[in-house]
A and B are shown apart, each in its own frame.
Chain A
């Protein structure tokens, strides 16, 4: 079995699981789905520089063939951003659950199909703003 087959099925399974979970109704599976999708993308981006084994990424004296160093840098950036985003979305989902009493993505309560009454705008200081800041840093 070739390494291409292995990597491509891994990307496919991860994306399929991610898409399925993202389409769920509650926030926790959705967060997991987003994480799965970002893993799938990281592997995919890595493979976009072609799969080679035992080759150096930058200059070597007696080396004829190289592996592409750029996708590796891209993946690093993507990992950092996805990590921060996951942290943000976890905090956001938690806070929404605490404020609205439901973890349904569409904000409906678990029992009745009618939406919650719109609460008054509160002047509570929003730590979510600061958490997003931390995620961005």
Chain B
């Protein structure tokens, strides 16, 4: 058993307390260590991705306690992909936070960031349901601190709501864990899948209740309608880099929906197979519509970005909810795209807001601000990515989803909603861009704004994110090959269970 598997969890887990204890007042060292940690996580993700690409599912038994008695970390292609997305996003966000000086605005930014990465990486690797709960709590506790970082009354108000909503979510998570444990007698997901397959008909109601409650908790994290209310206010009032980092938090929910359903309610589950699917698809379609209508109705740039996250989650979950290898592969192409595009959008919005002085991020014409030319270019490219127009990766992403769901039940609904919402978001972004840049050119007056911090470096971070989207498009062939293999691995009967529990 390779020990590399535990490194993405161990590295931030060691660094965070180290920084907290010894580097409290040494910003420079903290920054160096933080960026070094993000770079190493990127390298580790690359290594693990290369290892996972040979098709084996690696497991790591913590403390050498075998499954199902101990906690197991599992690395397959899906986990490796999620680690990679997290690492890329974390590096970009960390550089942006350092160059714009966000980490100077309060205490403990760097340790909290590492705790956040610890929770994220752990959630993507673990194969145990209660361990997943613990990693959820780790990433949530860190996210509370990060969300409130920098202070301010508006942020605190939104923070209370965010924390309360997530605490209720955690409570429901425990109810679901209790129900499933009571009915199946195990917490290991692969083992639970086998037990569900053998469960007597009398237990089906209890298992179904537990499973659907679990999906509801994941849907809360993924901001699926009607559990999306916390998102616009949270993402709209926190600092831009943190909002950009939170783009991966909703994807944790989507990942867990996919992992939990395929492992526990897979084809082998008999009557209970794919039980959550019929509930997920309508909810996802509603999410898509509501998100993009929110984009159209938004009066603030940050709000617009937050609603575009909801809309893209709808698109993603609708593709996942079909539960076929092809649709999952397409969804997994769209997942990194939507994460990085949403992050880029939040950072561009931040750049624009900083330059508009008192106008802030309100979508109304203001006099021309400094650097509007290059920024309009960045905004244009980001909008192309978020809406899903060629040449950036949103276009192949949506195309792959449309192609994959053609023959699925409800596939035409997905077609209609994706195409319709693309038009809506196209209108919304065209309007936002023309208000911010074109109409501004015709407005006279002057803007009083302090000179932006590190304008070139922060624009380069956004450009880097956009370049990664372009790379995702250019490398479409190899990426699709990897993702198709991922889709097949996820749905290969008994592969996950066999790897975790051993043959027989």
- Asked if residues B159 and A96 are in contact (CB atoms below 8 Å), the reply is yes
> Considering only CB atoms and an 8 Å cut-off, how many residues of chain A contact the other chain?
50
Name the distance in Å between A72's Cβ and chain B's nearest Cβ.
Answer: 12
- Asked if residues A92 and B115 are in contact (CB atoms below 8 Å), the reply is no
Number of interchain pairs (Cβ within 8 Å): 139
- Chain B residue numbers with a CB within 8 Å of A105 are 160-161, 164
Given A37-B171, A77-B130, A129-B112, also A48-B144 (CB < 8 A)? no
Name the distance in Å between A27's Cβ and chain B's nearest Cβ.
Answer: 7
- Asked if residues B138 and A136 are in contact (CB atoms below 8 Å), the reply is yes
Q: Does A54 contact B (CB under 8 A)?
A: no
Which of the candidate stretches B147-155, B273-281, B368-376 sits at the interface with the other chain? B147-155
List the B residue with the shortest CB-CB distance to A46.
Answer: B178
Q: Does A78 contact B (CB under 8 A)?
A: yes
- Chain A residue numbers with a CB within 8 Å of B154 are 118-119, 121
Given A77-B130, A96-B157, A130-B108, also A70-B152 (CB < 8 A)? no
Give residues 19-63 of A contacting B (CB, 8 Å). 22, 27, 30, 34, 37-38, 41, 44-45, 47-50
List the A residue with the shortest CB-CB distance to B173.
Answer: A41
Q: Does B20 contact A (CB under 8 A)?
A: yes
Give residues 79-137 of A contacting B (CB, 8 Å). 81, 84-85, 88-89, 92-93, 95-96, 99-100, 105-107, 116, 118-130, 132-133, 135-136
Which of the candidate stretches B179-187, B383-391, B454-462 sits at the interface with the other chain? B179-187
List the A residue with the shortest CB-CB distance to B106.
Answer: A126
Name the distance in Å between A80's Cβ and chain B's nearest Cβ.
Answer: 10
- Asked if residues A41 and B106 are in contact (CB atoms below 8 Å), the reply is no
- Chain A residue numbers with a CB within 8 Å of B145 are 128-129, 132-133
Q: How far is the CA of A71 from the CA of B106 in the complex (A)?
A: 39
Q: Which of A45, A71, A105, A129 has the most CB of B within 10 A?
A: A129
List the B residue with the shortest CB-CB distance to A108.
Answer: B157
Interface residues on B, range: 35 or more
- Chain B residue numbers with a CB within 8 Å of A65 are none
The listed residue (A41, A89, A95) touching B174 by CB distance below 8 A is A41
Q: How far is the CA of A96 from the CA of B161 in the complex (A)?
A: 11
Bits for B110-138, please: 1 = Cβ < 8 Å to A, else 0.
Answer: 01100100000000000000100010011
- Chain B residue numbers with a CB within 8 Å of A89 are 160, 163-164, 167
Bits for B93-119, please: 1 = Cβ < 8 Å to A, else 0.
Answer: 000000000000111110110010000
Q: Does A13 contact B (CB under 8 A)?
A: no
The listed residue (B106, B138, B155, B156) touching A125 by CB distance below 8 A is B106
Q: How far is the CA of A95 from the CA of B174 in the complex (A)?
A: 28
**Known contacts A71-B178, A129-B108; 10 further A-B pairs (Cβ under 8 A):** A34-B164, A41-B175, A45-B178, A70-B181, A106-B161, A107-B157, A121-B151, A127-B107, A129-B109, A133-B145
